[in-house]
Chain A
Amino acid sequence: MSKLRETLEAGKFAVTAEICPPRGTDVADFIEKARLLKDKLVAANVTDNQRAVMRLSSFAASVLLLKEGVEPVFQMTCRDRNRIAIQSDLIGASVLGIENVLALTGDHVSFGDHREAKPVFDLDAVQLTATIKTLNDGHNLKGKELRGATNFFIGAVVAPGTIPFEPEWIRFKKKISAGARFFQTQAVYDMDGFKRFFERAEGLDVKILAGILLLKSAKMAEYLNKNVPGVDVPQSLIDELTAAPDQLEKGIEIAARQVKALRGYCHGAHIMAISQEASVPKILELS
């Protein structure tokens, strides 16, 4: 059984982090990051052409993690594959030993490095979640019985800071009825706001890992506020970073503080340390 599932179902605090696959066949750095995080995390997410920028597939990179003894969370978006490819890749992932899947809509191609590409979105994230559940139940989307079912621990994402929040809440509940068992959230900085969301979700019988995005500098915090929907870094944190002699160190300290606060009540934390994966062990030590 998936370690992530086991940990969460046992009521233990689960820590995951994100690793981004390389653009090309040189996977040395990727493997190095995997080794660095190996015993620090329950599982590591592998992003699926994040921000619509073409990279090594999350499927292949997840298999690389398995070989390194790191349990992957295979991220799958709806942007680049139709329902045939989605089901086929999911069965492939299952056969190769991948046990966790995270279903996402995916960023639009207009954000990425191939802006002329055709955006697929044959399914949306709710339908993708339901598709994984269908494969787990031993059928394909047409109701035909599979020769061997998948056994995925199904995850999805939610953005607790979205304004307005009610439409997002409706979709969150739809993802749960579609079969999502765990959620990783968009980056949260308003910890009180997150706690209110968490309490509202109690009773829905899902596990929630709060998204912790490492702030590398005050400049990055300002960038996030300006450009990333649903992310709102409070001014107090920006001031704290600005005043620090080493902003990255301060960012690590802030992330650790957030993880520590989460340990009190939340099911887990999902650390996103874009290109700073090496800082993850330190965040965890301090938390």
Chain B
Amino acid sequence: MIITKKKTIEDITASLEGKKSVYLFGCNSCAEQCKTGGAEELKSMTETLTDKGFKVTGSSLVDETCYTQLVKREFRKVDAVKKSDAVLVLSCGAGVKCVADEAEDIGDGTQTIVPALDSMFLSSVERVGRFFEGCSLCGECVLDKTAGICPHTDCPKGLLNGPCGGVDEGKCEVMLDNDCAWVRIYTRLKAQGRLELMEEIASPKDYSTTTRPRNVLLR
């Protein structure tokens, strides 16, 4: 799941400055679960913007705002979208991108598209409302060698060959509440009788797999 957080209303109204009518997009997937862009948030954003003097022309709660076809359908179906001065998107950046592309494609390309959220990370979910970064999407998974604990994600320095000198009684010196990723990897590999994996020198990571923007075409 993609974790998002709300921008401040001051930031949002600053981006909407000079616009009179605003249409809202929410996302019924990740942003709904993060409580940043579901039905409730669309309702409260409508009220807030109305209070601030904007005309909210309507809102769409798309199942997945990052899905171009679903966004396209809203642009075709709902006249108010195209007629508003601005569109405020309560989803991750991938959703904002889809809305902006369709605004150009189906609309006249003059609308201002404004993100209401900041996109944070790809998460593992401990329980409702408790999210931890689960994967850095680095393009070269090493979890087989690190007992399922990611050194790219769980070590603030992304070290590949063991802990830095900052381990303090097993704790990370950067994220003080966290156990050091490499001490955890060591403990798990030791318990599994696979410490030799940690003794091998890991080569520098291949960053050519992460040249942006990435894309996939299934055939």
A123 to B161 alpha-carbon distance, docked (Å): 10
- B211 at the A/B interface (Cβ < 8 Å)? no
- A83 at the A/B interface (Cβ < 8 Å)? yes
Q: Is the CB of B160 within 8 A of A124?
A: yes
User: Could you count the A-B residue pairs with CB atoms below 8 Å apart for me: how many are there?
Assistant: 96
Q: Is the CB of A168 within 8 A of B167?
A: yes
Q: Is the CB of A167 within 8 A of B183?
A: yes
- B201 at the A/B interface (Cβ < 8 Å)? yes
- B107 at the A/B interface (Cβ < 8 Å)? no
| Contacting residues, chain A, for B161 (C-beta < 8 A) | 124-127, 171, 174
Please indicate which of the listed interface residues B159, B164, B204, B205 has the most CB atoms of chain A within 10 Å of its own CB.
Answer: B164
Q: Is the CB of A173 within 8 A of B199?
A: yes
| Contacting residues, chain B, for A79 (C-beta < 8 A) | 157
Of A13-21, A28-36, A103-111, the stretch lying at the interface with chain B is A103-111
Interface residues of B in 53-107 (CB under 8 A from A): none
Partner of A230, one of B157, B165, B183, B203: B165
Interface residues of A in 134-178 (CB under 8 A from B): 141, 157-159, 162-164, 166-168, 170-171, 173-174, 177-178
Given A174-B199, A178-B201: A162 and B156 interface contact (C-beta under 8 Å) = no
Q: Is the CB of A171 within 8 A of B162?
A: yes
- A9 at the A/B interface (Cβ < 8 Å)? no
- A119 at the A/B interface (Cβ < 8 Å)? yes
Q: Is the CB of B201 within 8 A of A126?
A: yes
- A198 at the A/B interface (Cβ < 8 Å)? no
Q: Is the CB of A130 within 8 A of B156?
A: no
- A11 at the A/B interface (Cβ < 8 Å)? no
- A122 at the A/B interface (Cβ < 8 Å)? yes
Identity of the chain A residue whose Cβ is nearest the Cβ of B182 in the assembled complex: A167
| Contacting residues, chain B, for A168 (C-beta < 8 A) | 162-163, 165, 167
Separation in Å of the B10 CB from the closest CB of chain A? 21
- A186 at the A/B interface (Cβ < 8 Å)? yes
Partner of B159, one of A83, A121, A164, A166: A121
- A229 at the A/B interface (Cβ < 8 Å)? yes
Partner-B contacts on A (CB < 8 A)? 78-79, 83, 105, 107-108, 110-111, 119, 121-127, 130, 141, 157-159, 162-164, 166-168, 170-171, 173-174, 177-178, 186, 229-230
- 18 other A-B residue contacts (CB within 8 Å) besides A174-B162, A229-B166: A105-B164, A108-B173, A121-B157, A124-B160, A125-B164, A127-B160, A141-B204, A162-B167, A163-B167, A163-B170, A164-B183, A166-B186, A167-B180, A167-B183, A167-B198, A168-B167, A170-B162, A177-B201
Q: List 26 A-B contacts (CB under 8 A).
A: A108-B156, A119-B156, A124-B157, A126-B162, A127-B161, A127-B201, A127-B202, A130-B201, A158-B165, A162-B163, A162-B165, A162-B167, A164-B167, A164-B170, A166-B186, A167-B167, A167-B180, A167-B182, A168-B163, A170-B186, A170-B195, A174-B161, A177-B201, A186-B165, A229-B165, A230-B165
Closest 10 CB pairs of A and B: A171-B162, A229-B168, A126-B161, A167-B186, A124-B159, A159-B165, A105-B164, A121-B157, A108-B174, A163-B169
